[in-house]
Amino acid sequence: MVPCKTTPKCGGSKGVAAIAALLLAVVQIGQAEARPRKPVRRPQPSAATYADEHDCVAKGALHASDCHNAALNSHAEYDEKAPRLDSKQACARFFGAHNCSMRIGAGLKGIAFVPSYRGFRLAPGKRAGEMMTLPVLAGASAGIEFTPRPVSRLDVEQDGARGARAQAAWQSAHAPVIRSARGGVMRYREAPKDAAPDFSDGGGEAAQQGPAATYPVSPSMRRTLQEEMRKYGTPPAKQ
């Protein structure tokens, strides 16, 4: 009697091959399920910093018009709320030695130091498809509460009262560090009324009187000034 597995009725070698293929497929499915699955990557807000409008366009972050709005809007937010400190030392304490810029026409004495503007970044808004822009500072952010502005339209308005509130809140939150930074800074001193500058070689109290002492200078600088006075003489008084 011929074994059934070799007869056409039983399918012969074709039947065996089909069964083997089925078993192989089952094994492969089991191995695939056993392997750890890679997480599905979902679109995330861009964490990149764009230096300006042209950088934004070159990197394809937004349409050209939106890049234009993002750059201007972020800079307006920076101008409105960036902390203003009365000394470079205090600014460097928060943002780093090379991350501060002088701002003329700001602060109590008309001069202030602010963290430098580095660019802007993008963040999703509350509504679907809405994109917002935020300024990025050189160095650490140091807890500055910037408000996102939309990229779909120009929003460059700066509110003085809103900026003042932001300044007061930031100064209050960082008052201990600001006070400690002021400790090593030379402070302005008012000269006695009607006093004349003294560039004599004498030391002691005489060298510390008059308008020349309204801002402390080093001894070497004072000697340089004295030499200049000797060389060119005292300017004639105005008639």
Give residue-wise pLDDT tens across range 24-76.
665 566 665 555 444 333 333 456 899 999 999 999 999 999 999 999 999 99
Report the alpha-carbon distance of residue 215 to residue 187 in Å, rounded. 7
pLDDT of residue 223: 72
- Cα distances (angstroms) measured from residue 226 to each of 25, 89, 201, 207, 214: 97, 29, 8, 11, 17
Given pLDDT bands bounded at 50, 70 and 90, which one contains residue 192?
A: low
Q: With a cut of 80, say whether residue 100 has pLDDT above it.
A: yes
**pLDDT, tens digit (0-9, with 9 covering 90-100), for 135-165:** 999 887 667 889 999 999 999 999 999 999 9
Question: Under 8 Å CB-to-CB from 225, ≥6 apart: which residues?
Answer: 199, 212, 217
Q: Mean pLDDT over residues 94-105, rounded?
A: 86
Q: In what helix (H) or strand (E) does residue 64 lie, and over which residues does it extend?
A: helix 64-81
Give residue 236's pLDDT band: very low, low, confident or very high (50, 70, 90). Answer: low
Predicted structure pTM score: 0.57
pLDDT band, very low/low/confident/very high, at 219 (cuts 50, 70, 90): low
- Choice between 147 and 190, residue whose per-residue pLDDT is larger: 147
Rounded Cα gap, residues 172 and 162, in angstroms = 15
* 121 DSSP β-pair partners: 134
Among 93-97, 107-111, 208-212, the least confident range? 208-212
